[in-house]
Amino acid sequence: MSKSEEIVYRVYEEGGRKLRDRLFKESNRLTKLGGIYKHMEIGDKFEIAYANIINNKKKKENGKSK
């Protein structure tokens, strides 16, 4: 199984369709930014997008608890 498939399956198991859709949106956002993301492989972009989603989720949780 490829890296991109593994990430998509892991995201789907963790959060269902909603989280998977966020992964795709974040990956598209990275592509539109251009620069290094424009020519990056999709598996690598998915890894970065997944990390961004998790980090944003943690920031929101920490912000609400204060």
pLDDT reported for residue 1: 74
Cα–Cα separations (whole angstroms), residue 51 to 28, 55, 62? 14, 6, 16
Can you give the residue range of the structural domain that contains 12?
3-65
Rounded Cα distance between 61 and 5, Å, is: 28
What does the pLDDT profile of the chain (66 residues) look like in tens digits?
788 899 899 999 988 889 999 999 999 999 998 888 888 899 999 999 999 998 888 888 887 654
Domain count, the chain: 1
Say what the pTM is: 0.79
**AA identity, residue 55:** N
pLDDT reported for residue 64: 65
How is residue 66 written in tokens? 């204060």
